[in-house]
Amino acid sequence: MRKSPLLLFLHAFSVTIGNPTQCDDLPVSWTGGQAPFQILVTAFDQPLYNISVPASAFSNGKGSYSISQFPFTTGTQFLLTMSDNTGFGTGGTSTVLTVGSPVANNNCNITSPSLDFCFSTASTIQQCNDYTFSGYDDAVLPVTITGLIPGGTSVILYPVTTSNYTWVADVKEGTSLLFFMTDSQGRDGGVDNLKTVADSTDASCLNAISPSSTSSAPSQTSSQSNSSGTSSSTSAGSSGPNVGIIAGAAVGGGVLLVLSITLVIYYRQKASRGHLQHTSAGNLPSPLIQTQHGDQRFHIERFFTLAGAGSALPRVRTAAPADETGTNQTTEVERFFVLAGAGSALPRVRTAVPADETGTNQTTEVERFFVLAGAGSALPRVRPAAPADEAGTN
């Protein structure tokens, strides 16, 4: 049983979608975002339909583009996902849309192209249970498995380096989910059918940011009719406008969540005073850094984990050890934490540990700034080691 990194993408701009009808133009408009833009149509059990939006379609923070003669037959169900320069799915994923009957009676090619390779999935998916992907022997590994939640977040399982892959479905029961697969050469493995996560007695894999359908979705400007197909996801209504929550609300919730988790970690480390056996910095796995300069020793433990939300990317620069007088020079640690689609976290730490004449540490100064876009909070978390005794032993 394996579990790849699960990346979550928060919405950065809002999207509005027109009424899809067979072989008629489908208007898409949006506010915000950074060019270039991509529109991805994932029709159930069909190949991917990806569109690169021309630069001329976006100006002064607003964009408008029409998909010419939408090439899907009446009754086809699909999701529309929009991305910009900052990452995949940053414009959100629509609720389930259904292609209506043609209006202008245009003639267009509605034949689906052939797939580069295929993949298979289990018939059912249960909360916190194993879910297997297989049958993609013709793909060039590693493959990327992307899950789309109608009206919710986009999730990515990557890298998948084996020809059969088992994932722990850390998605709450009742959530609808659609998977598609691409390989390392960008080839298309097609789109799976929409499935709904079934309940189970196991909820141990869930956490506060487990994927769900509660995030914002692109809205529609007009009503549309339902096809005869069934789906337990939120689908577009048969009358009246279907207006989603304005995209971008998830960013505020993500910021609050990051702040809360950081504070919990800070207070837990503050309460702990355990002693670490010294190991050279090169042998210590991130996120533990420990150095020793002469008879003086300090360590910094840093750990920042969002369950299923990628990794912290550290960069470390360490100054020279103490000079002959026993005075330590300044040690600087610079860390950068990047959460795709949710702004940049730019922490900065400066630790100075001067020594008195006996070589005993006197003071430790820590300046640390943690900046989240739109938050501006200072979140310190450093635990210095005990000073050296007269024998030079901590």
According to the model, what pLDDT value does residue 155 have? Answer: 87
Q: Indicate the domain borders of the chain.
A: 6-247, 273-369
CA distance 341 to 258: 14
According to the model, what pLDDT value does residue 183 have? Answer: 98
**CATH level 2 (architecture), domain 6-247:** Sandwich (2.60)
Residue 316 burial (CB count, 10 A)? 14
CA distance 291 to 180: 46
Nearest 5°: phi and psi at 357? -65, -30
The answer to pTM > 0.85 is no
- Residue holding tokens 């709904």? 196
What's the average pLDDT block by block, 10 residues per block, for the chain (394 residues)?
42 90 98 97 98 97 98 98 94 96 95 96 95 98 97 91 96 96 98 96 91 63 37 30 37 57 62 38 33 34 36 38 45 39 40 45 42 41 46 48
According to the model, what pLDDT value does residue 313 have? Answer: 36
According to the model, what pLDDT value does residue 210 have? Answer: 84
CA distance readout (Å), 43 to 73, 125, 194, 205, 255:
10, 20, 10, 29, 33
CA distance readout (Å), 246 to 13, 92, 180, 222, 380:
9, 10, 26, 16, 34
Cβ atoms of 327 and 321 within 8 Å: the answer is: no
